[in-house]
Amino acid sequence: MTSPILVTGAAGFIGHATVHRLLDRGETVVGADIVNDYYDPALKAARLSTFDGRRAFDFHRIDIADADAIARLVRERGVTRVIHLAAQAGVRHSIAHPFAYERSNVAGHLAVMEACRHQPGFEHLVYASSSSVYGDRPMGGQGFSEDEPCVSPVSLYAATKRACELMSQSYATLYGFPLTGLRFFTVYGPWGRPDMAYFSFTDRIMGGRPIEVYGEGRMARDFTYIDDIVDGIIGALDHPPAQGAHRLLNIGDSEPVPLMDMIATLERALGREAVKIMRPMQPGDVTATFADISKLNALTGYAPKVRLTEGLGRFAQWYRAYHGV
């Protein structure tokens, strides 16, 4: 019998979808999440309610920065594989609340690694990094490559994620267990985060309020549908690097979409037109993201399947059902 998989951030957007996929394929999953109020805890509670009746899921409400609690959970449940997704997200939020990022992202990542390195027979730690580590630079004709230097973060959030990558490299070298960092590119879809642009735009459009378009719309994002992200996460989990190796992999759609095109697609999905207020670029934002996914593809066969029109259509359908509108 295989040991359970620990998924941190199980009440979060990506964690929720990942847990369901793991359960669907017959895994036993231990979930951990602090369920904080960075955004509406009712949405997190609703995500957790979708696990009702799934006996192979065991949820623990704990702070991942509580090193003793995480170590005890890993030890007592015999965990040998971890998908570490818990983090304080949000580029703009990091400007106003920097210490939340130090605790959740840096201390939290360290606590998880410490628990893993003391666990006998530990197999693989997969953790969430971010495309934000690439900084703000021209997109060019090719996607951002994992081999490029990442030395100019433009937000504290990005800096904490890069710190996690560097810490992971040191732990792989020192303690000889395999780690994989996944640089996520703008994940979207049903059950998503309300602070993300597509979700907040939807709230405002459906409420008859104008949307604020930052960067005056001259931005592009590599929007990646949640099901495709989960494909990449589990594919990476199932293909660990060698003992003592740390690798970084991009996980995105590899087809960046201009922000104004995304808004137009969302308007069609909702059947409503947005009133747009153009705003300048916000501190910490980047102009464009674009993932080179060749490494993940070669390793796992990862190939995104859901285009933005279909993905935003599914999100709009979920949004109407969830909010009863």
Q: Which residues are catalytic?
A: 157
Strands 179-184 and 211-213: unpaired
Helix (H, G, I), strand (E, B) or coil at 246: strand
**Closest among 259, 247, 222, 256 to 298, alpha carbons compared:** 247
Q: What is the DSSP string of 266-280?
A: HHHHHT-PPPEEE-P
The Cα 177–Cα 123 span in angstroms is 7
Residue type present at position 254: S
The Cα 262–Cα 308 span in angstroms is 8
217-231 burial string, b = 16+ CB within 10 Å, else e?
Answer: eebbbbbbbbbbbbb
SS3 helix, strand, coil % of the chain, rounded to 5? 45, 15, 40
> Sign of the CA dihedral 93, 158, 132, 39?
negative
Helix (H, G, I), strand (E, B) or coil at 180: strand
Cβ contact 210:154 at 8 Å = no
Count the residues in the chain.
325
Cβ contact 33:44 at 8 Å = yes
